[in-house]
């Protein structure tokens, strides 16, 4: 016969078990958090130990920005998912730290209103307002949501990249002279080490598919870059011209004439506020709206030509997730994620599918599993240059 104490202990264990079971069941119905927190730069500096210096240069793991944030609505568990895997592998290859927050769910009404030209909580659509495609509308919402999070987190500077973005394996060393040139162009104070690029700008457009210039822009600063492709291999993809008027193996840092494609762009905190307000006035494609802001002077924009980042394509791959970020509704090409096999010269195949990246010498995605002594290129062919306009 059990004693009273033994019976009490038994009931105590059973009650604890059912409480834990209830907590577990409730947790199953709690959706993943859509918020994300970013490190406070002042806290990072103040908590750094005397023998543990913090690298705040443009060559650090966030390229000198307070954070790098990827705009991605991809479900990594989807059988067709490829973007985030490739992004993570490229980041690991180059030692970058990238936040990939979950995008909030978009309601059918919100998407329909935006496509009908109803913006900024208006009740009626504007016939003169652009009517974006579903992909463009989803991209617009994803980018503006990311800007809202940056503002909410009081983030001083942030680099926003799309989840198929690609860059050279030397990106961290390449960023150092770019930051110096930005500071020079914007007359930034040389006394502050917290902001390698200064903060006298709204948008720094590092990844695009071309600016309006087919020759070095007025007052541009030319930077030698051994990782830049020779000019005969470069294309201003959006304008459809070459970069043959540019000095060989250089990058030009300048005030933007009007780039297109939001593969990668940085914002200051005040720039994020201005861009969010500017974008809220119409529902056209987000990169078109940002382009207009730079051209019209609503935003203070700087850029690098040729671009530092581009997106990678995989031929023969379809993914509905691609539409959410890029706004491309007829996507035949996707970003690469996987082992760099099947290489023949500059042609790279992954999983039997052809991949390439415009204007990048040694793609971090293509070389995620290769050392510096065995780098390969994955550039488009002449036919692919003509076929793909981004």
Q: For the residues 287-306, what does the mean pLDDT come to? A: 95
Tokens of 337: 């994620």
Q: What are the pLDDT digits (tens) for 241-284?
A: 888 888 899 999 999 999 999 999 999 999 999 999 998 876 67
**pLDDT band at 10, cuts 50/70/90?**
low
Quote the CA–CA distance of 296 and 382 in Å, as a whole number. Answer: 34
pLDDT of residue 282: 65
Which own/partner contact pairs does 328-331 have at CB distance under 8 Å and 24+ positions apart? Answer: 328/135, 328/390, 329/133, 329/134, 329/135, 329/136
DSSP 211-230: -S-SSPPTT-EEEE-TTSPP
Using a 10 angstrom Cβ sphere, with 0-12 exposed, 13-18 middle and 19 or more buried, the burial of residue 132 is buried
Q: Are strands 235-236 and 241-242 parallel, antiparallel or unpaired?
A: antiparallel
Beta bridge partners of 181: none
Quote the CA–CA distance of 138 and 106 in Å, as a whole number. Answer: 8
Q: For the residues 45-61, what does the mean pLDDT come to? A: 64
Please give the model's pTM, rounded to 2 decimal places: 0.79
């Amino acid at each position: 016969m059990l004693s009273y104490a033994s019976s009490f202990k038994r009931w105590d264990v059973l009650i604890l078990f059912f409480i834990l079971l209830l907590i577990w069941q409730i947790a199953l119905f709690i959706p993943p958090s859509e918020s994300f927190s970013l490190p406070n730069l002042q806290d990072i500096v103040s908590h750094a130990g005397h023998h543990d210096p913090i690298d705040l240069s443009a060559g650090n793991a966030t390229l000198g920005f307070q954070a790098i944030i990827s705009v991605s609505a991809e479900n990594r568990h989807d059988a067709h998912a490829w973007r985030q895997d490739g992004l993570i592998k490229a980041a690991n290859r180059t030692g970058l730290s990238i936040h990939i927050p979950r995008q909030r769910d978009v309601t059918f009404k919100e998407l329909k209103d935006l496509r009908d030209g109803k913006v900024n909580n208006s009740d009626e659509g504007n016939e003169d307002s652009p009517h974006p495609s579903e992909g463009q509308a989803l991209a617009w919402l994803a980018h503006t949501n990311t800007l809202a999070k940056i503002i909410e987190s009081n983030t001083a500077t942030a680099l926003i990249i799309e989840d198929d973005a690609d860059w050279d394996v030397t990106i961290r060393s390449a960023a150092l002279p770019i930051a110096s040139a930005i500071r020079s162009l914007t007359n930034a104070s040389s006394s502050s080490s917290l902001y390698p690029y200064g903060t006298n700008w709204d948008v720094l457009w590092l990844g695009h598919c071309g600016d309006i210039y087919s020759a070095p822009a007025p007052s541009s600063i030319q930077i030698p870059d051994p990782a830049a492709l020779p000019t005969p291999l470069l294309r201003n993809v959006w304008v459809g011209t070459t970069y043959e008027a540019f000095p060989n193996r250089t990058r030009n840092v300048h005030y933007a004439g009007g780039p297109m494609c939001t593969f990668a762009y940085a914002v200051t905190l005040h720039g994020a506020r201005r861009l969010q307000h500017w974008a809220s006035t119409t529902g056209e494609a987000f990169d078109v709206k940002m382009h207009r802001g730079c051209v019209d002077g609503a935003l203070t924009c700087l850029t690098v030509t040729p671009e530092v980042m581009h997106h990678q394509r995989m031929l023969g791959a379809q993914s509905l997730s691609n539409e959410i970020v890029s706004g491309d509704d007829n996507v035949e090409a996707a970003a690469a994620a996987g082992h760099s096999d099947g290489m023949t010269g500059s042609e790279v195949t992954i999983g039997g599918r052809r991949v390439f990246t415009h204007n990048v010498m040694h793609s971090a995605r293509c070389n995620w599993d290769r050392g510096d002594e065995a780098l390969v290129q994955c550039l488009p062919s002449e036919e692919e240059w003509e076929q793909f306009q981004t």
